[in-house]
Amino acid sequence: MISEKNNSFMGPLSRIRFWYAILLIVIAVFLVRLFYLQVIRHDYYESSALSSQLKEYEIPAKRGVIEVHSGDTIVPIVLNETKYTLFADPKYIKNIDQVAEELQKVIGGDTSELKNKISTPDTRYVVLAKRLDKETSEKINNLDIKGVGTRETDYRTYPQGQLAAQLLGFVNDEAEGKYGVEQALNNELKGKPGLLKAITDAQGVPLASQKDNVLVESSEGNRVVLTIDIGLQQQLEDLLKKGLDNAQSSSGGALIMDARTGEIKAMANFPTYDPSKYNQVEDASLFTNPVVSAPLEVGSIMKPLTTAAAINQGLVDRNSSYFDPGYFVIDDAKITNIEEVGGAATKTVQDIIQQSLNTGATWLLMQMGGGQVNEKARNIWYDYMTNHYRLGKQTGIEQGYEAEGSIPDPNDGFGLNIQYANSSFGQGMTATPLQMAAAFASVLNGGKYYKPTIVDKLVSSDGAVDDKLPVVLNENVISEQTSKELRDILEYAFSKNHTFYGMPNLRPQYLMGGKTGTAQIPKPGGGYYDDKYNGTFLGFVGGNQVEYVVAVRVDEPKIGGYAGSRAAAPIAMGLLNTLIDNYGVTPRN
Amino acid sequence: MNVMSNRPRRSSVSPSNISKRRHKPDYWLIIFPSALLVVGLIVVYSISPGLAAQKGVTENYYASKQLIAVLLGITSFIIASQIPIQKWKNYRRTLIILSVVASLAVLLFGDKVNGAYRWIQIGGFSFQAVELIKFTILIWLASFLYDRWQNGEINNSNKTLKPLLLLLLIVTLVVANPKIQSDLGSTGVIVAMMAGMSFVACLPFKRIMLIALIVITGTTILVASSSYRRDRLQTFIQPQRDCQNTGYQSCQALIAVGSGGLFGKGLAHSVQAYGYLPEAANDSIFAIYAEKFGFIGVSVIMIAFAVFFTRIKYVIERAPDVYTRLIAAGVLAWLSTQAIINIGAMIGLLPLKGITLPFISYGGTSIIFVMAAIGIVFNISRYTTYTANTDLEKIEGKKIEGSTDRRRDRRTYYATTSRRT
C-alpha cells in the first residue's frame, strides 16, 4: 500500500478500497444467501413451485352413443357433437366495452349482458356463450382478443329429434347423465376419463417444454344398444298423442314389452320435451318418464292378477260360480260395482274379469281368507303382490328415478281389510304401468317374471360386446296351468268387450286380450274425487303364445264414459294392431 | 492477462495533457458487459414466447426488442468511448436540459403505471427518463466535485455540501416523489452515486454522515408517505405473510430462485416465467436466470459482476486525474448499487424496487445509458497509470510532497490487474 498524505479521515485510495471491500462482502453475502435458497432450501422451494405449477386435469372421455333397433338394423338415437364454449379471463380484458361489442357482432345477443359477465370480479374464467358452432368459434379466434378464447365441449345430439326423449334422458353441463338411460347407465356411457398431470403456466395451460408431464389417455364410454325399436317407438308416440287428444287428456303414457324376454320395445309419455333444448325446459317434471317413475292407483287392471292368484292358490277356476250380492260392507265401507252390472246375481270367475266386478275381486280375496277378508287373505294377497308380481319395489329397469309404488302392509295400520279389499281391484295401492306390464306378462307367459329391460347390449370402445340376456327374476309367479286359464279368461272377456275398446272386429288368428282400469283418483287429504278418473289398460297379443304386452295410462280424460275403455283401451288397440300389422306377431297355427 | 497489453508511454508527455498518454484500453471492460448482455439476451429469448403469449404479441417480440436494445447499447458504448473525456464536462448543461425535458415529458405524455410516470413511448420503444437522469448526474457531479476539489472547496459547506443537498432534494422531488416517478430504487442508485463520488472525492466524513442522516430520515418519510411502499416494506420483512397479494412477487421470486437448485432447470425449462413471476423479463430476470441455471449459473454471474466491478475499481484507482476518477467511481456506484438492489430483492434480502439488473434485464433505456457510462470508463482505461494513484494533486500536476512519482519509474505503464508495488 502506498503511503497516504491527506488531511481527511481516509485518503482516496483507502476510501476506494474500503468501499470495494464492502461491495465484495455484499456479493459474498448474496452468494451465501443464494446457496441457502438454492441448495439448502431447494426441496422446500421445489415443492412450493410444484404446488402451484403442477396441475392435474381430468381429460373427459368421449361419451358412448346410444342406438336403437330399426327392424333388423341398428340406428343411432343419441350422438355426440363438438361445440364450442366461449370464455373470458377478465384479468386480461382492458377495454370491456370494445370487447363486448366485438363479440356481440359475432355471437349476437345482448351487449350489456356480455359486459356484465366480463366485468365479473375476482375470477379468471367466465363463460360468455355456449354451444357455438365451429365457424363461430373460428371467427372469435380470428378476432384475436386477449383474454378471450373458446374451448371444445361435446354435446349430445339427437338425430331422431324428440323421439323417446324421456326414456333417453339428457347429459347436463357437468357431463352427468340425467334421467332415463343417460342417468341409469351413466357409468357405462361416460367412459374412463384420462389424466393429465402437467406443469402449467399461471393460466393453467400445460407447458410443452416440461418433460415430467404424465398423460393417461381417456377411454371412450360404451356404446349402448337399446331394445327399443325406433319404428314402434314412433308409432307408439303417434298413437299415444292421438289417443290422448281424442280422450281430451293432457297427459298419459304407454309402453310395449316383449312378454318372452322383458324387453321394452317402445315406451313414451306425453307431454314430453326436446332433449337438445333441455336447458330451456321450465317444468322439471317433463324430464321424468312417468310410465316408470310415476306410480298411480292402477284400477281394475289389477283384477287379472287377483284372479291369477286365487286360481293359482287352487281356490277357484275360471268357471267357479258364486253369488254376488252386488256389494260388500267391509270395515264399515261399502264396495260396489259399476251401475251397468246390476244387482245381486250368480257370477263366474271369468265374469269377474269380463264385467270388471269389484265385488268379484273382493270375493276372490275372501276365498284366500277362507271366506272373508282377514289376516290370512291379506297376507296371501300381499305375498302375491309383492313377491310374485314384484309390486312395491323397483323392477330394476335401466331408467333414472324409477318409482317403487306402494303396497299397504297387511298387518300394520287401520282399516286393513277394506284397504286390502280395495287393492284386489287396484285401489288403495299404487304401481307404475311398467310394474303392471311386467307382472301381467308373467301371468300370461306361463309364470316367468322377466326383469324389464331397455338395454339390448353394451359395446365397449375396443369392440367387446356385452349382450344383455333376459333375466328371470321369478320362475314360478303362477303355474303354467293358471297362466293358460288366465289367457283363456282374458281372451273370452276380450271377445265380449272388444267393441267397447274401439276394436270392431276380432282377429281370430291372433291371441289377444286385455283389461281396462278406471281408477278413482285419490284426494291429497284422503278419500277420492267423485269425478276424476285415470284410465288404464293392460293388453296382450300373440299367436300360440303371448308375445307382447302393452300398458297404457291416460290421466283424467274428459271424454265421457269409462276412462279405461273410452280413453286407454283405444290406444292399446292401436298398439296391438300395429304389432300385428307391422311387427310380425306370429299368428296361431 | 495479456488482453490488457500495453503501450509504452511516450516519454515526452506533459503531465497535464493526459490524451498524450494514451495506451491500450482495458478490454475486460468490453468483455464482461458483452457477456452479461448476451446472457440477458439468451434469457429474454428463451422466455419471450411465454411472455408474448400472455401479452398477445408475436413470439419473438421481446427477444427482437432486446436485440435492438443491445445493438443500441453497443452503439452508445462506441460513441461514448470515442468522445474525449474532458469534453463530457461541456455536455453537462445539455444533459441537464435534456433530463428536465424528459422528466416533464414523462409527466405530461408518459404512461401512468401504478400511479407513477416513468416511461414515455417513442416510436414503439418506451423511454425511461430516470436512466437519462442517472447519466446526467454522473457527468454533472463529476464536473462539480472536480471543480470544488480543484478550488480546494471540498470542505466548504456552502460551496459543496449545500449544492449536494439541493441536488438530493431535487432528485427526491422528481424521482422519489410518489406522485411523479415514485422510483425509490433509482433514487437509491442516485444517492449511492452521490455518496460514492463524494466519498472518493474525499468529502469529509462528517459531511457524509450528515448526508446519510438526511437520506435515512428522508427515506423513512417517503416510505411512510406511500401505502404501496409500506406494503413493500411489510412484504420485505415478512414475504411469506401474504404470498397472494402484496408478497406475491417476492414469494414467486424466492420460489423461482429456490426451485432452480444447484444446477438449474435448464434454459428451456423455466416455469415461473410463464405468468407466475411478475416482470419476468425486467425486474425479476435474475430470479428466472437462477431458476434456469441454478446456483452454479448464479455464481458465475455474481463472480462476473464482482470481477467486472474490480476492473472498474482499478480504473478508479489508476485514473489519470480526479475528474476521470470521479466518473469511474460514479459508474461503479451506479452499476453495483443497481445490481445489489435488484438481486437483493430477488433473494429476499432487500425490499422490492422496480429497478432493472444492469445489462441483463429487458429494457432499452437502461442498456443504452449503462453502456454509455461503461464506454466512458472504457475510454478512461486508455489513460490509466501504471500504479494506483494515491495522490490526486500529483497527477493533476500540483505540488505535493512525498509520494511515489511514477515518472521516476523507468518502466512502461501498464493497465494491469496485478499490483506491482
Shortest distance, CA A87 to any CA of chain B (angstroms)? 16
Boundaries of every domain in chain A: 12-40, 58-159+186-221, 228-582
The pLDDT value recorded for residue A456 is 95
Task: Please give the residue of chain A at the shortest CA–CA distance from B343.
Answer: A30
Fold equal for A58-159+186-221 and A228-582 = no
For chain B, the straight-line distance linking the first and the last C-alpha, in angstroms and rounded, comes to 18
Mean of per-residue pLDDT scores for chain A: 90
The pLDDT value recorded for residue B398 is 44
Q: Which of A29, A48, A202 sits opposite B255 (nearest CB)?
A: A48
Q: How confident is the model at residue B395 (pLDDT cuts 50, 70, 90)?
A: very low
Give me the half-sphere count of Cα atoms (radius 13 Å) on the Cβ side of residue B398: 11
Cis before A271 (ω within 30): yes
Q: Say yes or no for a CB contact (<8 Å) between A12 and B325.
A: yes
Q: Say yes or no for a CB contact (<8 Å) between A23 and B347.
A: no
DSSP element (H, E) containing B104: helix B88-109
Residue B405 reports pLDDT greater than 50:
no
Which chain A residues are closer than 8 Å to B387 by Cβ?
A: 2
Q: How confident is the model at residue B364 (pLDDT cuts 50, 70, 90)?
A: confident
Give residues 457 to 476 of A whose Cβ lies within 8 Å of B. Answer: none
Q: Which of A182, A211, A257 is nearest to A542 (CA)?
A: A257
Q: Say yes or no for a CB contact (<8 Å) between A16 and B316.
A: yes
Shortest distance, CA B101 to any CA of chain A (angstroms)? 31
Give me the half-sphere count of Cα atoms (radius 13 Å) on the Cβ side of residue A109: 17
Alpha helices in A131-224 (DSSP H): 134-143, 165-168, 180-184, 186-190
The pLDDT value recorded for residue A82 is 87
Task: Please give the residue of chain B at the shortest CA–CA distance from A49.
Answer: B255
Q: Say yes or no for a CB contact (<8 Å) between A37 and B268.
A: no
**420485505: which residue's cell?**
B236
Q: How confident is the model at residue A164 (pLDDT cuts 50, 70, 90)?
A: very high
Q: Which of B391, B419, B377, B374 is nearest to B15 (CA)?
A: B391
The whole-angstrom separation of Cα B355 and Cα B358 is 9
The pLDDT value recorded for residue B19 is 46
Residue, of A117 and B4, whose pLDDT is higher: A117
A49 at the B interface (CB within 8 A)? yes
Q: Say yes or no for a CB contact (<8 Å) between A16 and B306.
A: no
B196 at the A interface (CB within 8 A)? yes
Alpha-carbon torsion, ordered B137, B138, B143, B144, to 10 deg: 40
A21 at the B interface (CB within 8 A)? no
Please state, for a pLDDT cut of 70, what percent of chain A lies above it.
97
The pLDDT value recorded for residue A8 is 44
Task: Please give the residue of chain A at the shortest CA–CA distance from B286.
Answer: A34
As a whole number, mean pLDDT of residues A378-392 equals 96
Q: Say yes or no for a CB contact (<8 Å) between A34 and B50.
A: no
Which of B46, B47, B236, B259 to mutate to test binding with chain A, by most A CBs within 10 Å of its CB? B259
Shortest distance, CA A212 to any CA of chain B (angstroms)? 11
Which of A94, A145, A209 to mutate to test binding with chain B, by most B CBs within 10 Å of its CB? A209
Q: Which of B199, B201, B302 sits opposite A31 (nearest CB)?
A: B302
Q: Say yes or no for a CB contact (<8 Å) between B349 and A9.
A: no
Q: Which of B53, B196, B390 sits opposite A13 (nearest CB)?
A: B390
In this predicted model, what pLDDT tens digit does every residue of A126-149 receive, in sequence order?
888 888 888 888 888 888 887 788
Which of A16, A24, A44, A145 to mutate to test binding with chain B, by most B CBs within 10 Å of its CB? A16
The pLDDT value recorded for residue B337 is 94
For chain A, the straight-line distance linking the first and the last C-alpha, in angstroms and rounded, comes to 130
Q: How confident is the model at residue B240 (pLDDT cuts 50, 70, 90)?
A: low
- Specify the 3-state DSSP secondary structure of A337: coil
Which set of grid coordinates corresponds to residue B302?
A: 455474481
Give residues 117 to 176 of B whose Cβ lies within 8 Å of A. Answer: none
A30 at the B interface (CB within 8 A)? yes
In this predicted model, what pLDDT tens digit does every residue of A244-303 receive, in sequence order?
999 999 999 999 999 999 999 999 999 999 998 898 999 989 999 999 999 999 999 999
Pair B139, B92: CB distance under 8 Å = yes
Pair A474, A449: CB distance under 8 Å = yes
How many CB atoms are located within 10 Å of the residue B178 CB?
A: 16
Residue A104 reports pLDDT greater than 80:
yes
- Name which of A313-327, B41-55, B90-104 the model is least confident about: B41-55
In this predicted model, what pLDDT tens digit does every residue of A450-490 receive, in sequence order?
999 999 999 998 889 999 999 999 999 999 999 999 999 99
B347 at the A interface (CB within 8 A)? yes
**CATH code given to domain A228-582:** 3.40.710.10
In this predicted model, what pLDDT tens digit does every residue of A517-564 receive, in sequence order?
999 999 888 888 888 899 999 999 999 999 999 999 999 999 888 888
Which set of grid coordinates corresponds to residue A150?
A: 373458446
Shortest distance, CA A147 to any CA of chain B (angstroms)? 9
Residue B290 reports pLDDT greater than 60:
yes
Contacts of A505 (CB under 8 A, 6+ apart): none
Q: What sign does the dihedral A276-A282-A285-A286 (CA atoms) show? A: negative
Q: Which of A23, A35, A146 sits opposite B295 (nearest CB)?
A: A35
Give Dmax (Cα) for chain B.
Answer: 68
Question: What is the complex's ipTM, to 2 decimals?
Answer: 0.86
The pLDDT value recorded for residue B399 is 36
Residue, of B118 and B300, whose pLDDT is higher: B300
Residue A112: exposure state from Cβ atoms within 10 A (0-12, 13-18, ≥19) = exposed
Residue A387: exposure state from Cβ atoms within 10 A (0-12, 13-18, ≥19) = middle
Q: Say yes or no for a CB contact (<8 Å) between A2 and B254.
A: no
In this predicted model, what pLDDT tens digit does every residue of A223-255 receive, in sequence order?
999 999 999 999 999 999 999 999 999 999 999
Residue, of B4 and B25, whose pLDDT is higher: B25
Residue A194: exposure state from Cβ atoms within 10 A (0-12, 13-18, ≥19) = middle
Which chain A residues are closer than 8 Å to B295 by Cβ?
A: 34-35, 38-39
Residue B138 reports pLDDT greater than 90:
yes
The whole-angstrom separation of Cα B318 and Cα B322 is 10
Residue B123 reports pLDDT greater than 80:
no
As a whole number, mean pLDDT of residues B176-186 equals 78
The pLDDT value recorded for residue A153 is 83
Q: What sign does the dihedral B155-B158-B160-B161 (CA atoms) show? A: positive
Please state, for a pLDDT cut of 70, what percent of chain B lies above it.
82
Which chain A residues are closer than 8 Å to B269 by Cβ?
A: 209-211
Pair A143, A154: CB distance under 8 Å = no
Which set of grid coordinates corresponds to residue A418?
A: 277394506
- Specify the 3-state DSSP secondary structure of B145: helix
pTM of the model: 0.64
Q: Which of A30, A31, A53 sits opposite B271 (nearest CB)?
A: A53
**CATH code given to domain A58-159+186-221:** 3.90.1310.10
Q: Say yes or no for a CB contact (<8 Å) between A16 and B269.
A: no
Residue B176 DSSP label: I
Q: Say yes or no for a CB contact (<8 Å) between B257 and A209.
A: no
Cis before A410 (ω within 30): no
Q: How confident is the model at residue A10 (pLDDT cuts 50, 70, 90)?
A: low
Residue A390 reports pLDDT greater than 60:
yes
In this predicted model, what pLDDT tens digit does every residue of A58-67 receive, in sequence order?
787 889 999 9
Radius of gyration of chain B (CA): 22
Mean of per-residue pLDDT scores for chain B: 81
Q: Say yes or no for a CB contact (<8 Å) between A39 and B50.
A: no
Pair A324, A359: CB distance under 8 Å = yes
Contacts of A280 (CB under 8 A, 6+ apart): none
Give Dmax (Cα) for chain A.
Answer: 147
The pLDDT value recorded for residue A6 is 44
